């Protein structure tokens, strides 16, 4: 861990931010944000979270504040980054937004920062390593289960099978785990140097990792499963805390 960490020796974890337009007030306003569940998951598992706002053409100074990076969920990745024309079911994309996140991947690789990817984060990491995506799961051959649940995000709707001998299996300590599912895209071809660490029941890729231990990524949303939400039915999967603990520990240099 570097001197970037705070006085309590909590590693600083940068959460890649997004922009949302809100209509509160007289005129629409763009706001930089990260989901509160991501912020809490880092804070509750030993890290100091900071939100890294999306600034086109900038970012390196912000990345330098961090011991590790969290790439959360978000919008679809522009398919031009992996050499494809847009599919009719592709969602809204923003090439500058993608470029900002891709620059964070490059910085993390160059400076060997610990990384955790979630949903879009997994997909973007895969593209950064030269992989491709199914722009919509309807493109995928064979039977594909529903991966855009209508239940609340903290409810699990399926399971992920964890590949034996992977870092993900060591982190979670399980062969299968219950997961939520909130995506319409998935990994097609894994990027160079990335290993598939988990699959859904229908074979959709649910986890990727790098052999050097710097990158762990999952397709589901563990930040929404780490604790019960007040006023809602219990749907937490406490083992998901280990993903955030692992990121913080890797960022601190306390585990390889």
Please list the active-site residues.
119, 221, 223
- SS3 call for 101: helix
Exposed, middle or buried: residue 141 (CB in 10 Å: 0-12, 13-18, 19+)?
exposed
Distance of alpha carbon 77 from alpha carbon 126, whole angstroms: 11
DSSP 8-state code for residue 69: E
């Amino acid at each position: 861990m570097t001197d970037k960490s705070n006085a309590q020796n909590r590693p600083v974890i940068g959460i890649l931010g997004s922009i949302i337009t809100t209509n509160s007030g007289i005129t629409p306003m763009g706001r930089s944000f990260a989901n509160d569940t991501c912020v809490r998951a880092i804070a509750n598992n030993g890290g100091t979270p900071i939100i890294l706002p999306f600034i086109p053409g900038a970012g390196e100074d912000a990345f330098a504040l961090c011991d590790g990076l969290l790439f959360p969920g978000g919008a679809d990745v522009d398919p031009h980054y992996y050499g494809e024309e847009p599919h009719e079911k592709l969602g809204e994309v923003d090439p500058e937004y993608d470029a900002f996140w891709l620059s964070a991947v490059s910085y993390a690789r160059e400076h060997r920062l610990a990384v955790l990817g979630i949903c879009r984060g997994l997909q973007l990491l895969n593209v950064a390593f030269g992989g491709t995506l199914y722009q919509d799961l309807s493109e995928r051959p064979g039977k594909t289960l529903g991966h855009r649940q209508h239940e609340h995000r903290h409810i699990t709707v399926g399971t992920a099978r964890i590949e034996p001998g992977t870092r993900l299996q060591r982190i979670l300590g399980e062969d299968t785990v219950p997961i939520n599912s909130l995506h319409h895209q998935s990994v097609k071809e894994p990027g160079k140097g990335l290993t598939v660490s988990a699959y859904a029941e229908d074979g959709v890729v649910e986890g990727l990792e790098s052999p050097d231990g710097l990158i762990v990524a999952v397709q589901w949303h563990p930040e929404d499963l780490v604790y019960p939400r007040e006023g809602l039915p219990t749907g937490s999967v406490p083992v998901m805390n280990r993903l955030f603990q692992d990121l913080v520990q890797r960022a601190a240099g306390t585990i390889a």
